[in-house]
Amino acid sequence: AKHVRRRLLEILQKNYPQAQIRIAIGPAKDGLEEWAGSKKAPVLVEDMRSDRRFRALAGTNFRSAVVAPVLVLRDPVGFVRIE
C-alpha cells in the first residue's frame, strides 16, 4: 500500500507542482473531509470565501481545494487533498 500511496503522490505533485497535496489515512479532520466522507464523493471548492457550504472555513490558509475520499467497501478510510 505504501508504494501505491507514494506513486499517487508523485503523479499529483508532477501534475500540480504549485499545490499542497496530502494523502491522509483515518477519519475526517475538517469540514471539507467530513463533507466528502459523508457524501462518499469528491468535493471541489473553487473559492472558500464564496462557497456557501464552507464559508465557516474561509479563514483557512488556502482559497481553493479538492478533497476526495478513499473508499474501502464503500466506507471512507482516508482522503486525498489538493489545495
Q: Which residues of the chain have pLDDT under 50?
A: none
Q: What is the pLDDT of residue 51?
A: 81
Q: Return the pLDDT at 63.
A: 79
Position 52 scores a pLDDT of: 81
At residue 60, the pLDDT reads 67
Q: What pLDDT does residue 57 have?
A: 65
H-helix segments, 1-83:
2-15, 31-39
The C-alpha cell that represents 31 in the structure block: 469540514
10 within 8 A of 65, measured Cβ to Cβ: no
> What is the pTM (predicted TM-score) of this model?
0.83
